[in-house]
Amino acid sequence: MSNIGIVLGRFHRKEVEEMLDEARTVAASRGLGIVAEVWVPGSMEKPLAIKRLLMREDVAGAVALGIIERGETEHGNVMGHAVIGSLIDLQLQFMKPVGVGILGPGINPSQIPPRIRPYAAAAVNACADLIEQG
């Protein structure tokens, strides 16, 4: 069995807890163990937490879950692009997959509920697929 770690943004805690529930279900169905669930304040902190997980020998991949909601400024878009770029760089640096289940940037509140479980599932499945291809 391969192990993954999950990093979660607590800014939208209720919704992200639902994402975590889905991630746990999908991980179990794919034969993945979850050795760490790390809560961070928001998306800006996810790359460092993911890096710490990827450095562990018992972690074959990681998943980032959270929401970057549409705001009144471009902050969310800028942050979203920086975070996604950093996560891609970490995948390449460690040669371990990072499944990204971050809704947004720029998602409207009404768009969040129907995407919570599908995004979490897709992130875990992407990580699992790449671990299997290893």
Residues designated as active site = 75
Contact partners, residue 29, CB within 8 Å, separation at least 6: none
Dihedral sign, Cα of residue 126, residue 129, residue 131, residue 134: negative
SS3 19: helix
